[in-house]
Amino acid sequence: MQRPVLKFEDVGFAYDGRDVLKQVSLSVGRGELIALLGPSGCGKTTILNIIAGFLDPTSGCAFIDDRLIDGPGPDRGVVFQSYALFDWMTVRDNIAFSLRCSGQPRKTRSQVADRMADLVGLRGFEDAYPYQLSGGMRQRCGLARVLAANPKVMLMDEPFAAVDVQTRETLQEEILNIKAETGCTIVFVTHSIDEAVFLADRVLVLTNLAEGHYIDLPIDLPLPRSSPANRLHPSFLALREKIYIEMRERHGRSPVSGLREAGQ
């Protein structure tokens, strides 16, 4: 890996004296997309919040570009699961919000916003309001808003959990195209094995963060990575099976065990 953009050195985090993370070390290279995959409550959002600077580690250190993370900053953008758009602003103004905060002139704001709207497939909807958009379109608008701020690192916490399967697949392909175009580094939290394998350069299967354990799995799939054909590629299917078995063994159940149990 080249010089890492993000680095955890023995990071620990406890809520009310209960360890969620203990001596977790990891690094993310420039332009890399890592997926954090693990069951509910295992500490995915906690990791993201530490990188975002919303939470301070209880022990150890987290770095961005060799600088200690000591609060939020414009070099990191967060895309949440819910859309978090401003209802009273148009798509263009929502996307351009960070540029307005940083005092960019109206013309620049408008140009950047329209380019980002284009990038995420919202061309023609720049003047629409959030209530006029579908769930998937709102999520694209949230994504464009983070992209407009041109962060070095994008932190995405289950951003597509609330959209239908087809929209979700389209958005995944868009993320990969955007990553190829902008070269940004992405940390992507998901519950879905398929989503993790399709998107990531590396999947971290979070087996036991309270003991500092996780499995670091490189993903090798044909380029372009955004090709839908990759979803049926033998390597994709093999990786998916490997992770599925790993998670099932570690947790005694898989992410789909609820369905199985319900059907039994």
Ligand X SMILES: Nc1ncnc2c1ncn2[C@@H]1O[C@H](COP(=O)(O)OP(=O)(O)OP(=O)(O)O)[C@@H](O)[C@H]1O
Name the residues that contact ligand X, by CB under 6 A: 15-16, 20, 38, 40-46
15 binds, among Mg ion, ligand X, none (CB under 5 to 8 A by kind): ligand X
The piece of 3-11, 17-25, 38-46, 145-153 that touches Mg ion (CB under 5 A) is 38-46
Amino acid sitting at position 79: V
Q: C-beta of 18: minimal distance to Mg ion in Å?
A: 16
Nearest to 76 by CA among 212, 208, 185, 210: 185
Angstrom distances, CA of residue 207 to CA of 8, 36, 61, 174, 259: 17, 11, 21, 29, 21
Q: In this complex, which beta carbon is closest to ligand X, that of residue 53 or of residue 121?
A: 53
Q: In this complex, which beta carbon is closest to ligand X, that of residue 16 or of residue 220?
A: 16
Q: In this complex, which beta carbon is closest to ligand X, that of residue 42 or of residue 204?
A: 42
Q: Which residue's structure tokens are 């004296």? A: 17
Q: C-beta of 11: minimal distance to ligand X in Å?
A: 13
Q: In this complex, which beta carbon is closest to Mg ion, that of residue 43 or of residue 136?
A: 43
Diameter over CA atoms, the chain: 61
Residues in contact with 89: Cβ distance below 8 Å, sequence separation at least 6, in sequence order: 97, 129, 130
Q: C-beta of 228: minimal distance to ligand X in Å?
A: 27
Q: In this complex, which beta carbon is closest to Mg ion, that of residue 45 or of residue 185?
A: 45
145 binds, among Mg ion, ligand X, none (CB under 5 to 8 A by kind): none
Q: C-beta of 247: minimal distance to ligand X in Å?
A: 13
In the list 7, 43, 45, 205, the residue contacting Mg ion (rule: CB under 5 A) is 45
The CA angle 18-24-25, to the nearest 5 degrees, is: 165
Instruction: Using DSSP, state whether 177 is helix, strand or coil.
Output: helix
Q: C-beta of 251: minimal distance to Mg ion in Å?
A: 16
DSSP character string of 217-261: EE---PSSTT-GGGGG-HHHHHHHHHHHHHHHHHHSS-TTHHHHH
Binding site for Mg ion (CB under 5 A): 44-45
